[in-house]
Amino acid sequence: MADPLSGLPPRFLRTPEAARFVGLSGRTLEKHRTYGTGPKYRKIGGRVVYALDDLKAWTDLGTKSSTSDPGVGTVHPAKRKAVSTVPPPRTPPRR
């Protein structure tokens, strides 16, 4: 009996294939995952997989028509998000 899924394209990609799909290195995609700046992913049996639709949606955030086009979103670099270094406001002492 033939496998009914044999003719279907893959719907989930492991990190190396997902990285090639979006044109990044596997390590960069791992950094995006660590910092929360990358595409949505799933963990199945301890393995990280990416849905093709999620990869496309993430890359579509960077779609622009010109250098002055703000676009619909931003694909952030694979680095930690900036944390405010401003100290919290001081509360007056209680009387």
Residue 71 within a domain: no
Tokens of 94: 């209680």
Residue closest to 39 by CA, chosen among 20, 60, 25: 60
Report the domain count for the chain: 1
Domain, as residue range, for 56:
12-60
**Whole-prediction pTM value?**
0.70
Residue 81 within a domain: no
Q: In angstroms, rounded to a whole number, what is the distance separating the alpha carbons of residues 59 and 52?
A: 11
Q: What pLDDT tens digit does each residue of the chain (95 aa) get?
A: 555 656 676 689 999 999 999 999 999 999 999 999 999 999 999 999 999 999 999 999 888 888 888 777 778 888 887 665 666 667 766 76
Measured distance between the N- and C-terminal CA atoms of the chain, rounded to whole angstroms: 83
Residue 93 within a domain: no
Q: Which residues make Cβ contacts (< 8 Å) with residue 40, sequence separation at least 6?
A: 50, 51, 54, 57, 58
